[in-house]
Amino acid sequence: MTADGKLWPIVTVPIENEADVVTVRQRAHRLAELLGFERQDQTRIATAVSELARNAFSYAGGGRAEFILDPTPMPQVFHVRISDKGPGIADVQTILDGQYRSKSGMGLGILGARRLMDHFKIESKPGKGTIVEVGHVLPDRAAAITRAKLGDASATLKRDSSSDPLEVLRQQNRELLQSLDEIRRKEEESKQLDQELSDTNRGVVALYAELDERAEQLRHASELKTKFLSNMSHEFRTPLNSVLALSRLLLDRIDGDLTPEQERQVGYIRRSAESLLELVNDLLDLAKVEAGKVDVKPSAFTVGELFGGLRGALKPLLTGHAVELIFDIPDKVPNLFTDEAKVTQILRNLISNALKFTEQGEVRVTASFDAAARRVNLSVRDTGIGIAPQDHRRIFEEFSQVDTKIQKRVKGTGLGLPLSRSLAELLGGELILESVLGQGSVFTLSIPPERGDPLRAQRAADNARKRVLLIDDDETFRYVMRQIISNEPRYEFLEAIDGDDGLKVAREQQPDVIILDLQMPTVDGFTVLQELGADSRTSVTPVIVSTSLNVNAELKARLPAGTRVISKNTISRENVSLFLRDATQGAS
């Protein structure tokens, strides 16, 4: 083979694995075919290359195969140079002489290759690798290979190799391995993520436990506060009452006259004590509500009655005010069956607040019924200073007051709204505030119309009229009472002519209140009282005893404790109405 410059290299194939050995011999076969070798020579060349390539792979761990055309001699020569970087062959000559026989037949490979090819050259030095170069003369008959023809051949080879199914398979294998690697990496990543997540989770669980503990501590602290407040309030009340009583004594001149200056001072003492007592009472109420010691005592009443009572109670506050207090009496609000005292307390609080913070204009109290939510909304609307949005929450906190110029002038405990809200919740409702600073506020108490025994409430709603049963043998008295009671639209009048009849009617009709005469033939009033008390249907029905006997301690001792007694001598329209109202409301 002449100098490298005149050689035409065709292709170089690396030998890195077993499959490459196959590739190299296939290339050799195909190139031999493309260069015009006979079939027999194609097989010879491929076989020789296969032997040499295998040697390079098995003994040197890999190398490369260069396919070269030497165009100069005629006929031209096809060379294959297999080189490796292996340990080299110690004694090449022994092998070439055919003396050497390895178990795997290495000698056979080299010898065989030499026998199959026209040219053979081997260079090997220990530690420097081996280069074997074999060559085969192109057939005489074939035309000389030109550069262009060689280019075509190598292009065809490239096309072959790209469509080589084995090559495709290997490519796919490599991709598959890469994918597997990728998957393994992803798996590790997700394992790590999983680990991190479970760490985080543990942290969250620990935080939860801590929060629980905190919540428990807070609950405990709140209980302590409630207990403290309720105890302290009780303790405060006693000395305060003393102060009030003593100052009243002084002002009443029981212990002699006071100078005007002393009177003014005692008056201050008294007013301060009164406002302190008010504060203590509010505190006690709040503490009771928070401790759950307040019971709801439902009774039936109408919004009209409620507003009437409030108007009377709040009239004193209006003196000297440029503010008008208006109650809109609605007609479409159902009768209420809830704790009237507490509703009154809340509204009184709201109205007095509204009056305090309104310098001119009006305070309007309205009622409406939300049929969908089954809520009665009682609103107190003022034209006062209003409350800034950021203070909406704060004013419901205990002892907090919004800093305004009016606030500085008017006194307050800072407990009214928190107490009102607690009471509203107790009634199953809520207290809602809408307000625009400078334009006024609307506080709305939204409560369900019924609270407590729904059956009873139903009856109260269905039939607002109370049924009054009169048991009396005296026909004249029955007539008088019939006139008085039937006149009132609130009451329905039932009557019974003696004790037996009375018991029968009481059990069958279950009236709301019974007016009972004591002196009757056969079964007297005392017996009727006992019988009524023994029967579960009538045991809770309030009873008003009407008698012509002298109402004295001796008589009251013979009746169950707390029994209302009305003397027949004092019967009047107002009196009867008062007793009936008292009995029907107090008993519920």
Interface with another protein includes 132 (CB under 8 A)?
no
Residue 389 is given by DSSP the state: G
To another protein, the closest distance from the beta carbon of 171 in angstroms equals 15
Of the candidates 156, 127, 183, the residue with the CA atom closest to the CA atom of residue 36? 156
To another protein, the closest distance from the beta carbon of 18 in angstroms equals 4
The number of CA neighbours under 13 Å toward the Cβ of 285 is 23
Which listed residue (10, 34, 35, 44) binds another protein by CB under 8 A? 44
Burial class (CB in 10 A: 0-12, 13-18, 19+), 371: exposed
Which listed residue (34, 36, 47, 80) binds another protein by CB under 8 A? 47
In 252-339, which ranges are continuous DSSP H helix?
Answer: 260-290, 303-314
Spatial CB neighbours of 417, under 8 Å, sequence gap ≥ 6:
349, 353, 395, 396, 431
Please identify, among the stretches 1-9, 41-49, 64-72, 399-407, the one whose residues bind another protein according to the rule CB under 8 A: 41-49
Which listed residue (36, 86, 109, 452) binds another protein by CB under 8 A? 109
CB 379 within 8 A of CB 443: yes
To another protein, the closest distance from the beta carbon of 16 in angstroms equals 12
CB environment 223-235: b (16+ within 10 A), e (fewer): eeebeebbeebee
Please identify, among the stretches 107-115, 212-220, 284-292, 350-358, the one whose residues bind another protein according to the rule CB under 8 A: 107-115
Interface with another protein includes 134 (CB under 8 A)?
no
Which listed residue (108, 294, 523, 551) binds another protein by CB under 8 A? 108
User: Which of 175/189 has CB closer to another protein?
Assistant: 175
Give the sheet arrangement for strand 440-447, strand by strand: 323-327, 361-370, 375-382, 440-447, 430-436
Structure tokens at 81: 């140079």
Residues 154-183 that bind another protein (CB under 8 A): 166
User: Which of 110/229 has CB closer to another protein?
Assistant: 110
To another protein, the closest distance from the beta carbon of 144 in angstroms equals 25
User: Which of 51/517 has CB closer to another protein?
Assistant: 51
User: Which of 101/271 has CB closer to another protein?
Assistant: 101
User: Which of 40/476 has CB closer to another protein?
Assistant: 40
Count of other CB atoms within 10 angstroms of residue 4: 8
User: Which of 111/419 has CB closer to another protein?
Assistant: 111
To another protein, the closest distance from the beta carbon of 145 in angstroms equals 22
Count of residues engaged in binding another protein, rule: CB under 8 A: 25
- Compute the C-alpha angle 315/366/422, nearest 5°: 85
To another protein, the closest distance from the beta carbon of 208 in angstroms equals 54
Interface with another protein includes 54 (CB under 8 A)?
yes
User: Which of 109/129 has CB closer to another protein?
Assistant: 109
Which listed residue (10, 13, 29, 538) binds another protein by CB under 8 A? 29
3-state per-residue secondary structure call for 86-138: CCCCCCHHHHHCCCCCCCCCHHHHHHHHHHHCCEEEEEEECCCEEEEEEEEEC
Which listed residue (4, 5, 39, 455) binds another protein by CB under 8 A? 39
Burial class (CB in 10 A: 0-12, 13-18, 19+), 42: buried
Beta strands in 16-107 (DSSP E): 63-70, 77-84
Cα separation of 203 and 195, whole Å? 12
Please identify, among the stretches 6-14, 102-110, 141-149, 316-324, the one whose residues bind another protein according to the rule CB under 8 A: 102-110
Which listed residue (5, 40, 550, 554) binds another protein by CB under 8 A? 40
User: Which of 39/141 has CB closer to another protein?
Assistant: 39
User: Which of 108/551 has CB closer to another protein?
Assistant: 108
User: Which of 111/532 has CB closer to another protein?
Assistant: 111
Q: Report the number of secondary-structure helices (H) and strands (E) in the chain.
A: 17, 17
Cis-peptide into 330, omega within 30 deg: no
8-15 and 63-70 beta bridge pairing: antiparallel
User: Which of 42/547 has CB closer to another protein?
Assistant: 42
DSSP reduced 3-state for 3? coil
User: Which of 42/435 has CB closer to another protein?
Assistant: 42
336-338 and 361-370 beta bridge pairing: unpaired
Tell me how far CA of residue 226 lies from CA of 32, 87, 275, 332, 401, in angstroms: 105, 95, 21, 40, 21
Interface with another protein includes 235 (CB under 8 A)?
no
User: Which of 84/391 has CB closer to another protein?
Assistant: 84
Interface with another protein includes 56 (CB under 8 A)?
no
Query: x/- string (CB under 8 A) for another protein, residues 8-27?
Result: ----------xx-xx--xx-
Interface with another protein includes 96 (CB under 8 A)?
no
Please identify, among the stretches 105-113, 178-186, 201-209, 211-219, the one whose residues bind another protein according to the rule CB under 8 A: 105-113
CB environment 174-201: b (16+ within 10 A), e (fewer): eeeeeeeeeeeeeeeeeeeeeeeeeeee
Which listed residue (7, 8, 31, 51) binds another protein by CB under 8 A? 51
Which listed residue (6, 101, 115, 394) binds another protein by CB under 8 A? 115
CB 387 within 8 A of CB 433: yes
Which listed residue (35, 89, 116, 145) binds another protein by CB under 8 A? 116
Residues in contact with another protein by CB under 8 A are: 18-19, 21-22, 25-26, 29, 39-40, 42-44, 46-47, 50-51, 54, 105, 108-109, 111-112, 115-116, 166
